[in-house]
Structure 1
Amino acid sequence: MMSWLKCCVFPLVLLCMWQLQEGAQACTCPYDHPQTQFCQSDVAIKAKVVSKATASELKYDITYDIKLTKILKGPIRHYDTICTASSSAACGVTLNKGVEYFITGQLKPDGSLRVSSCNYVVPWESSHDILVEHFMMGCDCKITRCSSVPCGIGSPTECLWTNTIDEQDKQSACIKKSDGSCSWYGEEPNGN
């Protein structure tokens, strides 16, 4: 009886546990400052969604038709669609028709624009115009995340991001100063 359990039931239990683990996997992204997401993207645009998502031939991607308003970063070309995964578990994003967005993303080999929940995709009205301009000037700086005190920076070209200041990620940009060092610029209460 014991050998039957070892032979048949144990592998079956392992198979069930593996399937549960596979089903439990979801999208995970690093918790990055929006400026880091901007700097690591291939493209950053301001665009309005003009149609709801449509499924691609492969069924695991969806496409949104957009009206390009402004190219903030990347190759100058006409972007009229963006592609994303069809589910949030696969890092897909859901966009609303008629809303204008600040969108960062990656270029696919065919030249199309792909966005995910790991990119910075927010309604344009919730982004600060001046901050977006500073993001474009700050890609020579590195933002170092501090998740537990004490922490510090290793170079004058880094800004320490504690995110303990109310909405530091939405109010500040790390930009290079004339002396070559980097510091926070924006509406931080501590004045850095």
Structure 2
Amino acid sequence: MRRVGLFFVLGIIFFLQACVDRGEACSCQPRHPQQHLCSADFVILARVKRETLTNETREYKIKIRKEYKMSEKAYVALKFGRLVTARDDSMCGTRLEVNKVYAISGRVVTLQARIGLCDMAEKWDDLTRRQRKGLKLMYRQGCTCEIKFCPKSQSTQRGRCARTKDACNWDTWLPDKKKDCQRNEGICLRNSKKQCIWSRNLALTTCTRNSTVMHYEPKAVPTATAVEHPTALQAQQSQHQYVRKKWTWPKKAYSPFRDDPDRRSGQ
């Protein structure tokens, strides 16, 4: 009886460990669209026609509309318009909606075009004009540059990562993709001095300025009492500007006798 209980406990431990391993296997760091294009075996624009489920995989039949990047082995793997991903989300499987158009990046494994949660699968309607332009041409021009994931919460140098000539710091990252300026409007290119910088454009400048205004929060003035902290109270009062209005005598009420001399004399 004790052996049965021991095996039962060990079975639960192994099951929980397997679940943890499956969950941890899907962790991936945020990546910029330019990084997806530069590192993937293929980047395409495609419409999802149908979805098929198997025991371990989820397969999508697609119709390719445009090829942004395609290696030789990707041509062979995508010859019949089939994408393969893991069935479960815990194994980094990704889900696509039927009859929707996506910009998709992926890799070729054993002559299969595979996509995952860490790859790009963005709806075409959700991409900005700058992102579409980057996929067509400009992202490819910046593949010699590195994009360093550097959110301000994890930076080490006054809110920003250390700058290098061969990398652009991605420091506008936000969980909400629609508010991430460098992701939506940024393209990392080399300038005339061979340094990697975010290419200047009106959309990026406007987004960054608006984001700075939205995230500004004035510091609260600490409260204090005259008995406990007289010095702090004086400092608090000095920060406020009091506008003193000039005191004037109230105007006299209107009287019909004031402007008529005959009525004032009683005539």
What is the TM-score normalised by the length of structure 2? 0.61
d(CA) in 1 for partners of 2:57 and 2:173?
A: 36
CA distance in 2, matches of 1:138, 1:23: 39
The unaligned stretches of length 5 or more in structure 1 are none
Structure 2 partner of 1:94:
95
Q: Secondary structure at the match of 1:188?
A: helix
Which amino acid in 2 is paired with 1:149?
S
Higher relative contact order (CA 8 A, sep 6+): 1
8 A contact 1:141–1:182 mirrored in 2: yes
> Is the contact made by 2:190 and 2:197 (CA closer than 8 Å) also made in structure 1?
yes
Match of 1:50 in 2: 49
2: distance between equivalents of 1:172 and 1:182?
A: 12
Distance 1:14 1:163 in 2: 46
Give 1:164 shift: 4.7
Which segments of structure 1 move beyond 6 Å, counting only runs of 4 or more? none
Q: Does 1:33 align with 2:32?
A: yes
The sequence identity of aligned pairs, in percent, is 23
What CA deviation, in whole Å up to 9, does each residue of 1:46-67 have, x standing for no partner?
A: 111111x1134xx211211111
User: Is the counterpart of residue 139 in structure 1 residue 143 in structure 2?
Assistant: yes
More helix by share: 2
CA radius of gyration, larger in: 2
1:8 and 1:54 map into 2 onto residues whose CA distance is 41
Match of 2:133 among 112, 130, 143: 130
| Within-5 A mapping of 1:170-189 | 170-185=184-199, 186=201, 187-189=203-205
Indicate the structure with greater strand content: 1
TM-aligned CA distance change 1:109 to 1:153, over 3 Å: farther
Q: Tell me the residue number matched to 1:60.
A: 56
C-alpha distance in structure 1 between counterparts of 2:189 and 2:162, whole Å: 15
- Structure 2 CA distance for partners of 1:70 and 1:178, relative to 1, 3 Å: farther
How far apart are residue 154 of structure 1 and its match?
5.5
Q: In the aligned structure 2, how far is the partner of 1:142 from the partner of 1:105?
A: 19
TM-score (norm: length of structure 1): 0.82
5+ unaligned residues in a row in structure 2: which ranges? 210-267
Q: Is the 8 A contact 2:173 2:183 kept in 1?
A: no
The two structures, once aligned, show a CA RMSD in angstroms of 2.5
